[in-house]
Each structure stands twice: as C-alpha cells, then as structure tokens.
C-alpha cells in the first residue's frame, strides 16, 4: 500500500521538480534563501506564503472529494470570511488590539462554520448532489459578502491583523506555519485514527459503508463543515495579506485551483482514496507555475494556457489508458508521452 | 424500480424512472413555467411598464447567447456530464471573430471558421473525457483555462468589430407589431434582433434532435444508466464525445451572437457565464445526474434568470449583488423541489 501511495505522488512530484528546474535555469539564484529584516527571504519563501491559502482550501477539498463530493462554495466562503473579519476590524475603535482581531477572526470562522453546516445539511440530509448544493452558496455567497461590506472594498489598518497573512514567526511566514499546522493536524486525525479510512469507505460505497455501521451521514456532514473551516482560515489569510476585503476578488476561482491541486495530487474525483501529500504537492505545483510564468517574463494572463497544459499532462499521465500502456511497454515511456500530448493538442 | 436510496444522500447514478403521466413527466418544466409567470406577476404589480411587450422581447434579445449556451449545456448535463469551458470558448469565439475580421476575412468564412473551431474544441474535450477517462469536471476545467488563456494570446485588449455585415446585423431590428406612435408621428414597433431568431431556431432543432433522433435517445439513455446503454449496444462512446461537440458548437454560436451584440471581442467576455447556464438548466428542471430534462425547460430557466435581472434593474435602489442572492435562493428552491419529486416517484 505504501508503494501505491508513492506511485500516486510520483508524477506530480516530477512535475514540481521540473517546474523548479525551469526556474533555476532561468534564474540561477531562484533557490537561494537569505536572512533579511530578521526573517528568511527568497522566491521559495514567497511560494511557501502564497501557496498557503490554496493549500488550506485544498486540504478541506481533499476530504470532501474523498467522500465523492465537491465543494464549489469555498471561494465565496473565502470572500465572506474576509468581509466579516475586515468590516468588524474597520468598525472597531481600536483596530490594532488583540481583542478586536481575535473577535473578528472568531466571528468570521463562526459564520463560515454555520455556512459549512448548511452545505453539509443540503448534501447529507436533503440529499442534493454536492456540486449543485454548493453551487447555491457559490452563486449567493459573493452576494452575501457584498452585503456584508456594503459593496465597498473594506480596507483595514491593523498591524496585528496584517501580520497573520504577511508577517513572519521564527523567520518563517505566519501563513505557511498556519497552513502547515492545519495540514499536520488533518494528517494526524485522518491517518492516525480510523477517520481517514471511514471517509474513504464512504467515498467508495456510501451504501455499503452504512450497512457496515459507518455513520456515513455524519461523516459527510463533517467534511463540509471542515472544508468551510479551512476556507475561513484561507479567507482570513488572504484578506490579511492584502489588508482588505474585496468581496468580488478575494478568493476568486480558488475553488477551481483547490480542486486542481487535489486532482493533480492524485485524488480521484470519484471519491475513495485520498492523498494529503499529493494535495500538498498539487498546491505547490499551481503556485510554482504562476511564479514560473511571471519569472519567465510571459504575460500573467497566458499563465492559464500553461495551467491547462500542466493539468492535461498530469491527467493524461494518471489516466487508466496511459497507465496501462506504461505497464505494457515500460521501455517506450518517452515515446508514449509524446503521443499522448499530440492527441490533445 | 430497484430504488437504492442512499440514506447518506450521495446520489448514485441509479436509473431514474420517468413518470408515465404527463404531469409527472413535465412536472419540473411546469414548475419553471409557474415560477416565470410568478416572477412576471411580481414585476408587473411593482413596476409600471414591466409587462410592456418590448421589455419581454428585450429579455430574449439580451439573453440570446445564454439561451444557446444553456441548450448546449442541457445536452452535456443530460448525459450526466458538465461543461465548465462554455464561457471561455464563447470568449475565444468573440476574439477569433474580431481578429479574423480585422485581418480582412469576409464574414462568411469567419463564421464558418469560428463554428469549426468550437466543434474542434468540443471534440478535443470529448476525446479527452472518453478516451483518457478524465472526469468531465476536470477536463472541461482544463479546457476553460486553455480557452481563456488563448483569448489573451489572441489579444489582451478589446478588439472592436467594424465589419459592415456584423455592424448591420447588430443594428438590424426585426419589426413584429406596432405598439404606438412616437411624438413625431412615426409608428413604433415591437422588435427583436436576428440573434433571437437564431437562438429560438437552435432551441427548436435541439428539441427535435433530443426527442426524434437516435442520437437524442442515446443521450437520455446514457444519463439514465450508462452501463445499460452500453449493454443495449447503443453508441455510447460516439455520443459521449458528440455532446461535447454540440456544447462546443453552441459556445461558438453564443460567441458569434455576443460578438454581434457587443461589436467587439474581449478576453474577459462571459466570465462565469457557464454557471449561469448551469443554473438555467437546473432551474429548467434538468437533473444534474442526467437522464431527465427538456431543452424547453432550459429556455424557461434562462428567461427566469433574465427576468430577475430585469426586476432588480427596475428596482433601481437594489444593488446588483441581490441578483446573485436571489438566483442562489431560486436554485435552492428548485433543487429541493426536484429532490422531493424524485423521492415521491420512488415510493
């Protein structure tokens, strides 16, 4: 089983290394990290910080997808979390105080948890397909965020709040530490307890797992609440990093990036087995790709074309057809690769 | 039927029984129609001039491209798939149209080229999904990124269309019936644009294809139960690829309509419009699991969305974000309604 997990992460890892290699080739100092102003500084550190929100959302998404679901509402939740936190801080007489920031974050998380419960309720109790159940909040959510901010871009002037998304702790970006802690906690919870297996069993066959005594309904409900929690944290990181709540643009399309990260990481949208390591690598691939395109001097908008190419390549390499051919003719790997690409182009 | 109702609520792709009575069969479309009438009643009691025939015709004029997209989306969703690339392919079509016209192509070849491009794009997506067994969600997501990125490759700026044919098409009004007299004595007519006729013809063709051809029956069969469809010897593979060709073609037509509507090609055209199309299809009573639904429902769904937008613009003081909240709420109502319908049919 170990070797299977390893092979699932193999291709994404190669893709990530290749991307980094392109960067090093373009800019030999790319991997360099130095101390500056009391914290580490370098492209790698930037990637670490910028990956955090995608990674957080993708962690929640991994568990949702493992139950054969999908959560399209996370982008809207990111906007709502930022809107709730920022409007509170902006309205407070002492925006810099720890109490204000904590209360703001607490409320934002609470609001998102309630919305997560709502998503989970629609999916697990009412029985609406996940994609459409979360599409409701995806559509309405940004409207709600606009309602909270009154249609304005709410800027906050709170050094403490800014330090969450843009600050450093022990020379590392705070946001990366937060994402790391959430990842570690999730890994611990799912892999050191039976929870991970239960989630997978629900994803593979909800009916069978129910008959086997697994509380499928509560598990499905929980993963949507967890996904909302992750989105809330990501929303706080994003709004803190730009010190503003922009209901239209904060976390725009982050749900798609997160789903991509999960799929690139080898977790199937059909549910079942999931890989948090794969998701981590997937999130890094997406952010590194963005950095690569910028550092190569290509127009940022064209990034989408490269993203598409990477997704197509990774999906092709993981597709059953290509995998079978790999097994059948291991020697002709390079040639197969070429063929597969041509078909799509 | 063997109703394996998953208590977990995760819908399995169990074949859904289609009710035999007309009410059960068309119940969901009827619900959409009732909603549309209801929304209109609300609008007309609140605002004078809401029921003006031109207001209603404007609904068609402004949403002609969305009607065409919703038709393509219906085909895909009926097979149990989804197409997230429609908005991006539509934008790419407007870009290619504008770019080719600027390059001096005649309108005829431009239209043909754009339609072929849309079909080829859909063919690629369908092939990717069928042959490499990539989930439709991911495959069309990749296609969305690709098409949107290609838009920026064509041009990052808005390209304006000055071709006389397209300009005359965008300005031409088809007069329907006289509505009154202007202050200078001219007779005023209710009018539609040629794009409305194109959109309605496409709805009619789609309805015919779905209900009177083998291809249409296979589309429903795949959505009902792909395994059974394959065992029955239906051309599942070909049909599955073809529905994406249809959605690609519809995206291209939508792009052409939008290009004549706005007389420009712009890379950020129709961002998120695929979600509007999906919403319209769902509000129109088509099941996202596939196998059940009608094109006419999708048309009504688009009109419901359009009417809500009109109400909010008539209201004036209401901010635009209320549109999103109302559409979200409406989606919720319809999805729950469908869910209840399914549960009732099974018992």
pLDDT per position as a tens digit, A270-279? 888 899 999 9
- What is d(CA A152, CA A245) in angstroms, rounded to the nearest whole number? 8
The answer to whether residues A124 and A221 touch, using CB atoms and an 8 Å cutoff, is yes
The answer to whether residues B308 and B39 touch, using CB atoms and an 8 Å cutoff, is yes
Helix (H) or strand (E) holding A40: strand A39-41
Chain A residue at shortest CA distance from B145: A304
Which residues, 6 or more positions from B47, have their beta carbon under 8 angstroms from its beta carbon?
A: B311, B314, B315
Show residues of chain A in contact with B323, CB under 8 Å: 143
Q: Is the pLDDT of residue A337 over 70?
A: no
Q: Do B8 and A207 touch (CB under 8 A)?
A: yes
Task: Kindly report the average pLDDT of chain A as a whole number.
Answer: 84
Cα–Cα distance list, B146 to A281, A337, B54, B98 (Å): 22, 20, 39, 19
- What is d(CA B289, CA B11) in angstroms, rounded to the nearest whole number? 8
DSSP B269-283: TTTTHHHHHHHHHHH
What's the pLDDT score for residue A122? 92
Q: Tens of pLDDT along B143-176?
A: 988 998 899 888 888 888 888 888 888 888 888 7
Task: Kindly report the average pLDDT of chain B as a whole number.
Answer: 84
Q: Do B319 and A151 touch (CB under 8 A)?
A: yes
CATH topology of domain A44-297: ABC transporter involved in vitamin B12 uptake, BtuC (1.10.3470)
Q: Do A139 and B11 touch (CB under 8 A)?
A: no
Choose from B32-46, B235-249, B263-277 the range with maximum mean pLDDT. Answer: B235-249
What's the pLDDT score for residue B255? 93
The answer to whether residues A269 and A69 touch, using CB atoms and an 8 Å cutoff, is no
What's the pLDDT score for residue B310? 85
- pLDDT above 70 covers a percentage of chain A that reads 92
Of A128-142, A172-186, B242-256, B291-305, which range is least confident? A128-142
Q: Tens of pLDDT along B188-222?
A: 788 888 889 999 999 999 999 999 999 999 999 99
Count of C-beta atoms within a 10 Å radius of residue A294: 12
Q: How confident is the model at residue B14 (pLDDT cuts 50, 70, 90)?
A: very low
A73, A83, A115, A140, best to mutate vs chain B, most B CBs in 10 Å: A140
Q: Do A147 and B325 touch (CB under 8 A)?
A: yes
Mean pLDDT across A176-197: 91
* Closest partner CB to A206 (pick from B6, B135, B332): B6
Of A22-36, A167-181, B294-308, which range is least confident? A22-36
pTM equals: 0.82
What's the pLDDT score for residue B181? 76
* Closest partner CB to B134 (pick from A135, A259, A315): A315
What's the pLDDT score for residue B293? 86
Q: How confident is the model at residue B137 (pLDDT cuts 50, 70, 90)?
A: confident
Q: Is the pLDDT of residue B317 over 70?
A: no
Cα–Cα distance list, B214 to B122, B211, B217, B230, B239 (Å): 20, 8, 5, 14, 10
Choose from A110-119, A139-148, A303-312 the range with maximum mean pLDDT. Answer: A110-119
Question: Per-domain residue ranges for chain A?
Answer: 44-297, 303-345
In total, the C-beta contacts within 8 angstroms joining chain A to chain B are 166
What's the pLDDT score for residue A28? 79
Q: Tens of pLDDT along A192-219?
A: 888 888 888 888 888 888 888 888 888 9
Q: How confident is the model at residue B16 (pLDDT cuts 50, 70, 90)?
A: very low
φ/ψ region of B263 (left if φ > 0, alpha if ψ in -120 to 50, else beta) reads left
Q: Tens of pLDDT along B66-119?
A: 999 999 999 999 998 999 899 999 999 999 999 999 888 888 899 999 999 999
Q: Is the pLDDT of residue B299 over 90?
A: yes
Show residues of chain A in contact with B9, CB under 8 Å: 123-128, 217, 220
For residue B54 the two structure tokens come to: 């031109």
- What is d(CA A3, CA B9) in angstroms, rounded to the nearest whole number? 34
Q: Tens of pLDDT along B118-127?
A: 999 999 999 9
């Amino acid at each position: 089983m170990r070797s299977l997990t390893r092979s699932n992460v193999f291709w994404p890892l190669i893709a990530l290394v290749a991307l980094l290699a392109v960067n090093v080739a373009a800019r030999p100092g790319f991997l360099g990290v130095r101390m500056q102003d009391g914290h580490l500084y370098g492209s790698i550190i930037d990637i670490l910080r910028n990956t955090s929100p995608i990674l957080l959302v993708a962690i929640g998404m991994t568990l949702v997808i493992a139950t054969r679901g999908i959560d399209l509402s996370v982008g809207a939740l990111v906007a709502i979390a930022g809107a709730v936190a920022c409007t509170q801080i902006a309205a407070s007489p002492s925006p810099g105080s720890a109490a204000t920031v904590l209360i703001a974050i607490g409320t934002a998380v609470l609001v998102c948890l309630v919305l997560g419960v709502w998503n989970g309720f629609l999916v697990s109790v009412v029985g609406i397909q996940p994609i459409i159940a979360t599409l409701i909040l995806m559509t309405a959510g940004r409207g709600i965020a606009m309602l909270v901010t009154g249609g304005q871009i709410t800027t906050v002037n709170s050094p403490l709040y800014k330090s969450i998304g843009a600050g450093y702790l022990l020379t590392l970006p705070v946001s990366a530490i937060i994402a790391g802690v959430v990842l570690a906690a999730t890994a611990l919870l799912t892999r050191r307890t039976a929870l991970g297996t239960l989630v997978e069993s629900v994803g593979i066959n909800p009916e069978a797992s129910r008959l086997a005594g697994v509380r499928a309904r509560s598990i499905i409900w929980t993963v949507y609440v967890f996904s909302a929690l992750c989105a809330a944290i990501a929303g706080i990181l994003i709004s803190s990093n730009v010190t503003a709540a922009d209901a239209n643009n904060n976390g725009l399309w982050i749900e798609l990036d997160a789903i991509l990260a999960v799929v690139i990481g080898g977790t199937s949208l059909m549910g079942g087995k999931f890989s948090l390591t794969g998701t981590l690598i997937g999130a890094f691939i997406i952010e590194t790709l963005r950095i690569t395109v910028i550092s190569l001097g290509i127009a940022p908008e064209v990034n989408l074309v490269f993203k598409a190419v990477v997704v197509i390549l990774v999906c092709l390499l993981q597709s059953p057809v290509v995998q079978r051919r790999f097994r059948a003719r291991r020697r002709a790997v390079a040639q197969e690769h070429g063929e597969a690409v041509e078909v799509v182009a | 039927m063997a109703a394996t109702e998953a208590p977990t609520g995760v819908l399995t792709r169990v074949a859904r029984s289609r009710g035999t009575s007309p009410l059960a069969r068309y119940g969901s479309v009827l619900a959409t129609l009732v909603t549309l009438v209801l929304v209109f009643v609300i609008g007309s009691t609140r605002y004078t001039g809401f029921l003006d025939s031109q207001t209603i015709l404007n609904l068609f004029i402004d949403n002609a491209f969305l009607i065409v997209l919703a038709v393509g989306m219906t085909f895909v969703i009926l097979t149990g798939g989804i197409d997230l690339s429609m908005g991006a392919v539509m934008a790419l079509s407007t870009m290619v149209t504008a770019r080719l016209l600027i390059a001096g192509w005649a309108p005829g070849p431009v239209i043909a080229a754009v339609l072929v491009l849309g079909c080829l794009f859909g063919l690629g997506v369908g092939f990717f999904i069928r042959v490499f067994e990539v989930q439709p969600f991911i495959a069309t997501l990749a296609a969305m990124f690709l098409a949107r990125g290609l838009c920026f490759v064509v041009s990052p700026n808005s390209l304006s269309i000055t071709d006389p044919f397209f300009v005359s098409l965008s300005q031409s009004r088809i007069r329907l019936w006289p509505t009154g007299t202007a202050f200078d004595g001219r007779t005023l007519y209710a009018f539609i644009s040629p794009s409305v006729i194109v959109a309605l013809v496409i709805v009619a063709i789609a309805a015919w294809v779905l209900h009177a051809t083998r291809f249409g029956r296979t589309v429903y069969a795949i959505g009902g139960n792909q395994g059974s469809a394959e065992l029955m010897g239906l051309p599942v593979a070909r049909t599955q690829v073809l529905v994406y060709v249809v959605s690609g073609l519809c995206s291209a037509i939508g792009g052409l309509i939008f290009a004549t509507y706005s007389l420009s090609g712009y890379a950020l055209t129709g961002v998120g419009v695929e979600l509007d199309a999906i919403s319209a299809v769902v509000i129109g009573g088509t099941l996202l699991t596939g196998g059940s639904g009608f094109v006419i429902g999708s048309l009504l769904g688009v009109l419901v969305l359009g009417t809500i937008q009109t109400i909010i613009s008539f209201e004036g003081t209401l901010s635009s974000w209320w549109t999103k909240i109302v559409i979200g709420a409406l989606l919720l109502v319809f999805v729950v309604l469908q869910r209840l319908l399914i549960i009732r049919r099974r018992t």
